[in-house]
Structures are given as structure tokens and as C-alpha cells.
Amino acid sequence: MERIPARAASRTLRIQILRHNPLDPASTPALQSFELQEADAMTLFIALNEIRQTQDASLQFDFVCRAGICGSCGMIVNGRPVLACRTLTRDLPDDIVLAPLPAFELIGDLSVNTGKWMRGMSERLETWVHAQNLEQADIDALEQTMEPALADQIYELERCIECGCCVAACGTAQMHEEFVGAVGLNQIARFRLDPRDERSDADYYELVGDDSGVFGCMTLLGCQDTCPKDLPLAAQIAFLRRRMAIAGF
């Protein structure tokens, strides 16, 4: 843990956390309030660890990279889904309310099982390059060429970190458990763009051509508003919907 000296006359933060331990029969979901002296350059990663170390050792949350790249620490901060590790307390008011991401299975307190959800989505949408004889590929030979601009375009969509913020911010996902979310639709858009994937629009239609897929989207655009990687989700979903409408016609 990086130790950061406190700034003189720092603020006292009041952090309320929605707590619940499903494994404890006596636990009922409730907000618990913690007070914390703000330190310079304090992130929610630092703040939550300090609370766990000095006030309540049972507090559950997930951080891995603490650098905004692994997608582990999505949570609701004052009503919006964000990556907690790169959220600086100085950008927040004195009163901070933290809650776990909705739409995912709760592990405890701020920890939710996004991994299980994402693996299920990947299996269902088959989010991998489908090509004949992949195992027999000649890896001694020069690689297939690809237009540099196309590689950039694929990477643009590949930047998704499966944090779940788009699912937590999605109206459809809250009402419709089977909905694959912007995260899933973006993956389809990514593989559709990739010439190495031999699937056709008819194949993709089988995967997302219904209301648990691209036709479930109500265009509320919570996904694009909250995506920590600024992915062009609205445009991808709109484009995919048009292609799927044609494929299904």
C-alpha cells in the first residue's frame, strides 16, 4: 500500500457503504457510515483499504491492478457506476455513498461476481475467433497481413475491460436477466470486424438477433455515459442492430 502523508487541514469524509454478507444469516442489507480523514491524492482504493485496516476488517471489496486497467473495482459511487481505483476523493463531495454494482451476484458488501457473469456471456456469445484449422496454423511462416487501420479499429473495441459498469447502468439489464449488455454486443461488433473470424451475419444473428441481444436495447445509452474506457458503444449497438435487422429479414 502506498502511504500518503495527510495534507494539513484535510476534509473529513463521511463514507456510507451499503453492506451485506449473504453468508451471515444475521446480516441484512444496510448503509454503514465511516468517517475518514482525507489525504492528498487519495483514491477510493486507498480510502477503502484504510477503512478496512483501521475501522472494520470485515469490509469486502475487490481491487486488483489499482491502475484502472483490470476492471475489478466497478461500484456505484454517489449513484454512478465507476472504477473505484481511479476515482479521487477530491473529486467527490464530503458525503460519499458506495454500493455494489447491481445486476451481478453479490459476494459481500462492494464485491460482486462480475467474473461469473462475463464468463457466461463469453460462452454464450462465443467471443473468440472462429476459424477452420486454427490448431494446424503454421506458426513458422510469415503472419497474415492486416491493414494497420483495421488493427487499430479492432483494438478500439478490444479495449473493453469487462468491468460491468455498462451492465449496471443499463435499464434493460435491470429488467431482463438474459440481456447480454453493451459489453456483449461490443464483443460481437469486435469479432464481426475481424477478418480472421469466419462467422457471417447469419451466425451473429443466431447469437444476438433477439431481445436478449441487440433488439433488447432501449437506447437509453447509460452504457456509453458510464464506460470507463470511453468505448463507442451507442454507435456499435446501432450499427449492429441495422446489420442484424438485415440479416434476420
Task: Return all residues near 189 (Cβ < 8 A) that are at least 6 apart.
Answer: 157, 236, 237, 239, 240
Beta bridge partners of 75: 82
| By the rule CB under 8 A, 234 interacts with another protein | no
User: Among residues 110 and 237, whose Cβ is nearest to another protein?
Assistant: 110
C-alpha cell belonging to residue 209:
438477433
Among 8, 79, 132, 135, the residue binding another protein under the rule CB under 8 A is 135
Residues 153-192 binding another protein (CB under 8 A) are 154-155, 158-159, 161-162, 191
Choosing from 18, 88, 221, 247, the residue that interacts with another protein (CB under 8 A) is: 88
Is residue 38 involved in binding another protein (CB under 8 A)?
no
Residue 144 is given by DSSP the state P
Among 8, 9, 79, 152, binds another protein (CB under 8 A): 152
Among 34, 47, 68, 166, binds another protein (CB under 8 A): 68
Out of 6, 30, 67, 238, name the contact with another protein by CB under 8 A: 67
- Which residue, among 78, 131, 124, 74, has the nearest Cα to 103 in the 3D structure? 74
- 170-206 burial, b if ≥16 CB within 10 A, otherwise e? bbbbeebeebbbbbbbbbbbbbbebeebebeeeebbe
Q: Are 154 and 196 in contact (CB under 8 A)?
A: no
Minimum distance from residue 95 beta carbon to another protein (Å): 22
CA distances 157 to 150, 191, 232, Å, are 11, 9, 8
Q: Is residue 56 near another protein by the rule CB under 8 A?
A: yes
Instruction: Establish if 53 lies at the interface with another protein (CB under 8 A).
Output: yes
User: What distance in Å separates the CA atoms of residue 135 and residue 88, rounded to the nearest whole number?
Assistant: 46
Which residue lies nearer to another protein by CB, 198 or 211? 198
Instruction: Tell me: does residue 30 bind another protein (CB under 8 A).
Output: no
Q: According to the binding rule CB under 8 A, does residue 9 interact with another protein?
A: no
Residue 118 is placed in which grid cell? 462475463
206 touches another protein by CB under 8 A: no
Under the binding rule (CB under 8 A), the answer on residue 137 touching another protein is: yes
The torsion region of residue 219 among left (phi > 0), alpha (psi -120 to 50) and beta comes to left
Identity of the residue, 60 or 236, whose beta carbon is nearer to another protein in the bound complex: 60
| 4 part of the interface to another protein, by CB under 8 A | yes
- Residue 241 as a binder of another protein (CB under 8 A): the answer is no
Q: Which stretch binds another protein (CB under 8 A): 94-102, 139-147, 209-217, 218-226?
A: 139-147
Cβ neighbours of residue 235 under 8 Å, at least 6 residues apart?
none
